[in-house]
Amino acid sequence: MKKCASCSKDLPDSAQHCVFCGAKQQAPAPAPGQAKTVMGYQASDVIKQMQQQASARTQPSSAPPPMGGPPPAAPPMGGPPPAAPPPAAANAPTMFLQNGPGAPAPMGPGAPAPMPMPAPMPQAAASHPGGQGGYGPPPGSNPPPMGAPSPGYATQLAQGGPGGYASQPNFPPAPSAPSPYGPPPGQGGYPPSYPAPSQPQFPHGPGMGPSMGPGPGMAPPPYLASQSAGRAAHPVEPFNEGLGLVMLVFGILLLGAFATPLTTEPKMTFWWNALADAPGKLKLEPIRIVGVGVLALVLGLIPLAGAARGLFAAVLGAALIAVPIVVGGAMPPWQALVMLLAPVALVPGLLLRHEYRESGLGRVLTTVGAGAIIALYVIPVDGGVPIVNLFKALGDNGAERTIPAVALFLLAVLSLLVWLPAPSSAGAKVFAWAFILFGVVGHVLALVGGRGFPDVIKAAPYQSVMAWVPGVAAIALLGYGLAAVLGKKLE
């Protein structure tokens, strides 16, 4: 009941007007917790009410002892374990959760025992004795709540740390290695119970799970750095590009030789005239020049594997050597035959020695070819040693023919340097090209030292200018071709 504001008559609390005098009554004030707005209860009142409930249930956290006071007494060794810390403000109940996550369960006589925590993974325990993630606290210890001093700080105070009055000397903490992932929670740095990591760890996944090993992206390299020397000693198809260039160059030279006039007086004749007018076997000479030239040019342009290109080049080079022997009809003397076949073993051996420096095949082939050439100069002929006769003839008028013969002997002797140990190349490729181009040098010296030099070029252009092309092309094609075929077995 309430009194009327005008006539002081008794009225019910819910009356809005007085039934006696008709005066309007004042509405009763709402309770503080039931204050309303046009949208409902005020949010600030709800928040204040929650804060008041949280502060009523939460006790103030323990603060560290003052710096000037005595250190706290250590608990007795045989006494019961210390009580769990009171719940902090972060664990206060809210409108969605009545009991915070950090509130300890009651441990009375009839309460059930808590479930044991799972043991840490072996990999994490082995990598760091402090916890599962590599940087957590050691097993059996609980991290202090927010606002409470760390165990390391309390231990320092108990042992006479900073600000204490204990009798023990105050030693600085032992230095620890910096962590690549930041220091663990505490009062700055690693406390005595947190050992510093001794080895780098793999990056962690989301959360504080165990450390992860290398993923699928960290695959091992296809070969180790220590295998580089072995791979360099066994290259893959090293002659493919060089052989293609050799076939192109000598194919063009053979076609140029085929187009060079044979004679100019009394009339100009070419190889195709000889192809039309020459009898039987003599037609093979122009055919071998133009046929090998065209095939070498085509096979040098089209893409082929190294072994296949080398096989074709060796066949073309062998054709250039075999056709003159077939056309001649008679077997040449053994000296000419050895001089013709020695480069077949000498040039491929030198090329193999340059690319496969640890292989013995190149050394053996070079020794066979060089030994055959040296044998021509040391085996007596007509009661005399050829090399001795050559040195005696150096002062005569035929020096243009003697100098190339002596130079060939010296090249054969120097080519035996291939027996030097790897990784030295012993100049093998230089000696190989010296043997290939030796016919050009000998032809030029014979042409320049002969009589009627300008008139000979005018009268017989092919014989004086291009006669060396088939022989040099045969050695180059056969040498590079055999080197490419045999080198495939050494990869």
d(CA 485, CA 479): 10
Question: How much is the pLDDT for 231?
Answer: 52
Helix 284-301 vs helix 240-259: crossing angle, to nearest 10: 140
Question: Which amino acid is it at 52?
Answer: Q
Sign of CA dihedral 148, 150, 151, 155: negative
Residue 88 lies in a domain: no
| CA distance from start to end of the chain | 113
The phi, psi pair for 183, rounded to 5°, reads -75, 155
Number of domains in the chain: 1
Residue 215 lies in a domain: no
Determine which helix (DSSP H) or strand (DSSP E) holds 84, and give its type and residue range: none
Residue 139 lies in a domain: no
Question: Which amino acid is it at 95?
Answer: M
Integer-rounded Cα Rg, in Å, for the chain is 52
Residue 310 lies in a domain: yes
Taking Cα atoms as reference points, which of 182, 194, 106, 88 lies closest to residue 144? 88
d(CA 284, CA 298): 21
Question: How much is the pLDDT for 110?
Answer: 47
Residue 146 near residue 90 (C-beta atoms within 8 A): yes
Residue 338 near residue 375 (C-beta atoms within 8 A): yes
Q: How confident is the prediction along the chain (491 residues), in pLDDT tens digits per residue?
A: 788 888 888 888 888 888 888 888 887 766 555 555 556 656 677 788 888 888 777 655 555 555 555 555 555 565 565 555 555 555 556 655 454 444 444 444 444 555 555 554 544 333 444 444 444 444 544 544 444 444 444 444 444 444 444 444 444 444 444 444 544 554 454 445 445 455 445 444 444 444 454 445 455 555 555 545 455 556 778 888 899 999 999 999 999 999 999 888 878 888 888 887 777 778 888 899 999 999 999 999 999 888 999 999 999 999 999 888 888 777 778 888 888 889 999 999 999 999 998 889 999 999 999 999 999 999 988 878 888 888 887 766 666 678 888 899 999 999 999 999 988 888 999 999 999 999 998 888 888 776 666 778 888 888 888 999 999 999 999 999 999 999 988 87
Which domain, by its residues, includes 446?
237-488
Question: How much is the pLDDT for 59?
Answer: 54
Residue 339 lies in a domain: yes
Query: 3-state DSSP call for residue 11?
Result: strand
Residue 377 lies in a domain: yes
Query: 3-state DSSP call for residue 3?
Result: strand
Residue 77 lies in a domain: no
Residue 285 near residue 276 (C-beta atoms within 8 A): no
Residue 247 lies in a domain: yes
d(CA 129, CA 145): 22
d(CA 341, CA 298): 27
